Amino acid sequence: AYMCGFGNEFSSEDPRCPGSLPEGQNNPQVCPYGLYAEQLSGSAFTCPRPANKRSWLYRILPSVKHKPFTAVPCGNLTENWNEVEPDPNQLRWLPFTIPKSTEKKVDFVAGLHTVCGAGDAKSRNGISIHVYTCNTSMVDRCFNNSDGDFLIVPQQGEILITTEFGKMMVEPNEICVIQQGMRFSVDVFGETRGYIMEVYGAHFELPDLGPIGANGLANPRDFLCPVAWYEDRKVATGYTIINKYQGKLFACQQDFSPFNVVAWHGNYTPYKYNLKNFMVINCVAFDHADPSIFTVLTAKSTRPGVAIADFVIFPPRWGVADHTFRPPYYHRNCMSEFMGLIKGHYEAKEEGFQPGGASLHSMMTPHGPDADCFEKNSTAELKPERVAEGTMAFMFESSFSMAVTKWGLQTCQRLDKTYYQCWEPLRSHFNPNWKPSKK
């Protein structure tokens, strides 16, 4: 069960404990059912109301009851952007390898791998892009990101996310956002893979619509927030809280489940969204619009119109533009573009770019359709046609110049070193004797 809306003031209580939300105040002397009141703040207290994010949680035991945190190995999760030399080339990865459960049990946290990023969690300004590849559920342990927000894009296998606010089932072609400081655990049901965009210092919001008007793109009513669910469970062998803090991992022990929130209210919550609900805007006359018209969520920087990160999709839609090269244009960008493919075939590169893989076109690195795509679409009959049917590609776009990690360039062994060859067959069509056709 879910509640719908984006950034709403929600309230929810587990039906097993009716009346567990205090009436008329946040922090009574004695809470109903003997619960503890705990506020989770996602913004400074004095932020303007439109940007003020917080929720009140009413829990069996407060989250402060735990043993001290100690450092634990980070695996392939990193914020070290200088471990290898910069690489300005067009980069493409084959589908990232999912470990076989018969060989090694890997859960969501152990299966996190940082591909690229920039900035700094300490200064609260930056972005990281990770992939997760796992095959087993998290048991008696949960994850907490003190550095930023996770936007999770499942690609293979559904994931059941248990949070302090309730449960969310997230399938491929859906996304979810777990905001800074929210504890969660991930159950999987086989070999599982997906992508994560992490932002520091800002929360995701819906893009402004400008002259589009009041409706379109990702509509607020289609975002779903979980309802309260709790477990009052003692864990004699110890429950592990894993905390990502200043780019490192730390762990502590407690003897009870952290998912003990009986009721909550507020506007700072996890949420999910089904990409099939995106209301697509597209050209209906001529030319190819900029991909910003496909923005689902944005994390704004302090510069107007410039994002720390945008989440952009390329959904099924109609292509009807006349006198137009319809695929994406050739491009050099002051932004960094990381692309992934959930399913299908991306229109600009139908071969080579595979579901579960990725590409990175760094700041001012040229990119665009491969030779086959250009030749085919330069002579195609321009009739109305469905574009990207059965496909869902996406882009994490950022104003940061992202560095690729050693894992991304070397250790994963999935870098496609032949990527540049897809543009090698491009040939000159220049004709100095060309004359405009007579109409």
Alpha carbon distance 294, 280 (integer Å): 7
Which of 152, 131, 145 minimizes the C-alpha distance to 76? 131
Residue 132 in marked binding region: no
In the block, tokens 């300005």 appear at: 88
Can you read off the two tokens belonging to residue 83?
């471990």
Can you read off the two tokens belonging to residue 79?
């914020």
Which of 290, 311, 306 minimizes the C-alpha distance to 399? 306
Q: Which residues pair with 299 in a beta bridge?
A: 309
46: phi then psi, degrees, rounded to nearest 5: -95, 10
66, 130, 203, 288: the catalytic one is 288
Can you read off the two tokens belonging to residue 94?
């084959």
Residue 65 · residue 292 · CB < 8 Å: no
130 as an active site residue: the answer is: no
Can you read off the two tokens belonging to residue 204?
């995701």
Residue 1 · residue 14 · CB < 8 Å: no
Three-state secondary-structure class, residue 230: coil
Three-state secondary-structure class, residue 294: helix
Alpha carbon distance 251, 241 (integer Å): 5
Residue 329 in marked binding region: no
Alpha carbon distance 124, 274 (integer Å): 29
Residue 346 in marked binding region: yes
Helices (H), 114-170: none
Alpha carbon distance 315, 321 (integer Å): 17
Alpha carbon distance 385, 374 (integer Å): 17
Alpha carbon distance 326, 60 (integer Å): 57
Residue 164 in marked binding region: no
Strands 149-156 and 174-178, by their bridges, are antiparallel
- 32 class by beta-carbon count within 10 Å (0-12 exposed, 13-18 middle, 19+ buried): middle
Cβ partners under 8 Å of residue 234, min gap 6: 255, 256
Which of 135, 144, 180 minimizes the C-alpha distance to 162? 144
Which stretch of DSSP H or E encloses residue 372?
A: helix 371-378
Residue 123 · residue 186 · CB < 8 Å: no
Binding residue numbers for Fe cation: 331, 337
Binding residue numbers: 331, 337, 346, 367
- As annotated, the active-site residues are 288
Binding residue numbers for homogentisate: 346, 367
